[in-house]
Amino acid sequence: MTEQRSQTGAPLHHVVAAKQFTRELVSALFARAQELQAQLPGPPRRELEGRIMATLFYEPSTRTRLSFESAMLRLGGQVVSTENARDFSSAIKGETLEDSIRIVGGYADCIVLRHPEEGAAKRAAAISPVPVINAGDGPGEHPTQALLDLYTIATEVGRLDHIRLVLVGDLANGRTVHSLSQLLSMYPGLHATLVAPDRLRMSPNLVAQLLAGGAEVEETTDLLAAVENADVVYQTRIQTERMVEPWTADEAELSRFRITEETMRGLPASAIVMHPLPRVGEIDPAVDDDPRAAYFRQARNGVPVRMALLSTVLGR
């Protein structure tokens, strides 16, 4: 297994799972990301000039792809890209993921992989001649999303310990919620309030992990009460497309988990609202102009965080 847990700033190679990010590595990456962000857009950088990143996407994810490509270009690097990587493994040509990775690894200096199957990134890393960065493997991991979420909390709230986190929405299927709560539980004093429709509650298994990591966990369906002492309200989308059994959500039930101007009135002045985006109604657009609405800044943070990651993985 080629996956690495790096120590204190030691270079990363493959980036497959959020659990690779130790506190020391997070610290080093965030210091670098802040430094890079302070200089954006700024004069052209050349530190990755002559280096090529391949984006190999077996399912479309335009936001994630553009964010990675922007990060690479901002460092002076170059990009080759495919949004149709399924062509590699079509009924006609039937190539394995492993073969595709070996081939693309001969064209590029790192591979950003998006794949619908859990474990795809780990399989790719096991045979790739160049670093593989997991940009989401189905219900599995999306470690760079978790990292930019954590970065957003660090820069907006100003600390990572003793965070009062309210997780709202689909806590059963949302891999971002899982990865983020996992990362946050590395820091002391995490208090997580879980606010989900009954059918979409966090799995007992993950709740147990949070508790084992030292977090306090409570569950409620009362969003208004939950946000009153929050530092961070993390809202998620109901990912019906990832559900095994089809589910037609009950509008009235869902509306109780929506963030509106009323919710914002109950939220502390120093708290923030996050969302991995896209949203489809879970947050009322009337909230967008509230300075505590951090979700577009969160999306924007993807670029400096991925710049820090790419410069660590590919830096000479």
Span between the terminal Cα atoms of the chain, in Å: 24
Contacts of residue 117, defined as CB under 8 A and 6 or more positions apart, other chains included, come to 137, 138, 140
Catalytic residue among 13, 32, 64, 123: 64
Shortest reach from residue 43's CB to its own copies, in Å:
6
Shortest reach from residue 252's CB to its own copies, in Å:
20
Shortest reach from residue 101's CB to its own copies, in Å:
10
Do residues 126 and 102 lie in contact, with contact meaning Cβ atoms separated by under 8 Å? Answer: no
Is 5 one of the annotated active-site residues of the chain? no
Shortest reach from residue 205's CB to its own copies, in Å:
27
Residue of the chain from 1, 38, 92, 252 that contacts its own copies (CB under 8 A): 92
Residue of the chain from 93, 204, 245, 246 that contacts its own copies (CB under 8 A): 93
* Residue given tokens 């962000």 in the structure block: 37
Residue of the chain from 106, 158, 246, 291 that contacts its own copies (CB under 8 A): 106
Shortest reach from residue 188's CB to its own copies, in Å:
32
Neighbours of 6 (CB within 10 A): 18
Q: Does 11 bind its own copies (CB under 8 A)?
A: no
Do residues 25 and 32 lie in contact, with contact meaning Cβ atoms separated by under 8 Å? Answer: no
Q: Does 41 bind its own copies (CB under 8 A)?
A: yes
Catalytic residue among 142, 178, 258, 306: 142
Mask: binding to its own copies, 52-91, rule CB under 8 A, as x and -?
A: x-x-----xxxx-xxx-xx--xx---xxxxxxxx-xx---
Return the range that interacts with its own copies (CB under 8 A); candidates 135-143, 160-168, 184-192, 298-306. 298-306
Residue of the chain from 1, 38, 94, 248 that contacts its own copies (CB under 8 A): 94
Is 142 one of the annotated active-site residues of the chain? yes
| Region 245-284 residues binding its own copies, contact defined as CB under 8 A | 277-281
Catalytic residue among 114, 115, 123, 275: 114
Is 64 one of the annotated active-site residues of the chain? yes
| Region 184-243 residues binding its own copies, contact defined as CB under 8 A | 240-241
* Catalytic machinery residues: 63-64, 93, 114, 142
Contacts with its own copies by CB under 8 A lie at: 41-46, 49-52, 54, 60-63, 65-67, 69-70, 73-74, 78-85, 87-88, 92-96, 98-100, 102-104, 106-109, 240-241, 277-281, 285, 296, 299-300, 302-303
